[in-house]
A and B are shown apart, each in its own frame.
Chain A
Amino acid sequence: MIKAIVADDEKELRSYLKTLLAEVWPELEIAGEAANGSEALEMVDTHAAQIAFLDIKMPGLSGLEVAGKIAKACHVVFVTAYDDYAVEAFEREAVDYLVKPVTKKRLLQTVGRLKNRLQTSLTPPPGTSEILAEILARLEGKPDAAGRLQWIRTQHKDSVRLISVDDVDYFHSDEKYTLVVTPAGESLIKKSIKELACELDPQKFWQIHRATIVNVSRIENIVRSLTGRGILKLKNRKETLPVSRQYLHLFKQM
């Protein structure tokens, strides 16, 4: 008996796929239904399933992440609602995929393919995990979003306010705290300028002084002072910010 699991966070879609599978492949045993990625991973393991139907977008672990972990032991069929990248990637590669809503005709093809593969070898084709790794990297490894600081928590009375870094004009550090200056006001955070410099997107934020990081999009102009330092003027702000000599090179192309 061949065992399969169906993983989808949407209950209706799970049961629908199960019903369809029962019609086109009655001999297949659906050993488990998973509502999220971690459950799916567990089920493949406990039931020793040979086939996994995985929804790509699931809470916890995504279908792609699950597949990356089980691809050596299990034939994976992705079930996706709509995903340009994924569909395009799978079209070129050996991994099978189904687009929701799944039709009986299309599912029959997939079942045929699966039966073929199961007959020739009981393990998935080699190279599947490499393909998956590549797809994963393409889908999720968008370099600009890689762990960059986007929201800053600031204490306001008894609540924590979230400020988007895009709203910040500049950061200026005191000895202990860092001042976050936005058009709407100022607040203090505990993060140091050093930490911020590492976490902020260097395309959007420049450190211009030991104690100052500025939002590049807010810069109006910079003038050289007589002492060789720079004086930065911001849009819609009265105060100017000093630029140390060591950071002046940032403004060479401006």
Chain B
Amino acid sequence: MPGAARHSTTGRRVGRRVVFAGVLVLQAFFVVRAYWAPHNELGFQMFPEASQWQAEVVRVTADGERVPVGEPWSGYVWSELVTERGLGHLGGRRHANNGLASQVAFLEDAMAWVAANTPADYDTRYYEATVTEWHNADPPVTYVLRSPERELPTDG
């Protein structure tokens, strides 16, 4: 069936061209997106900054107490829950490996994850981080991040 074979070859050729062009368009999109996306996936912006950051994270309990997450609570240990991206051991001033935006976005996500994944905690309302960042040689900037508020279980 030479006609069918020719049809299949043409189809394959067109498919190849579509894949080739599609990959290039996608790659171009990710390279441009990296200029505003915090984690710049597939944007290949290597060693982007010499920035540093520091965060003091506390749990704010139902009675308003502010307890550093360095202290274990309700059977949880922060450094066992958050192990990646230099977020396990907080407190000291450290380098922002993939830039400040990425680091702070991960910290915010980590607080939200811990807030949502600690069911045995009947006490914490939310997590709060006091972040100080040094963008390259710029003066430091300090601000506060807060996790979503938790609904405290009533059977505790």
A and B associate in one complex: no
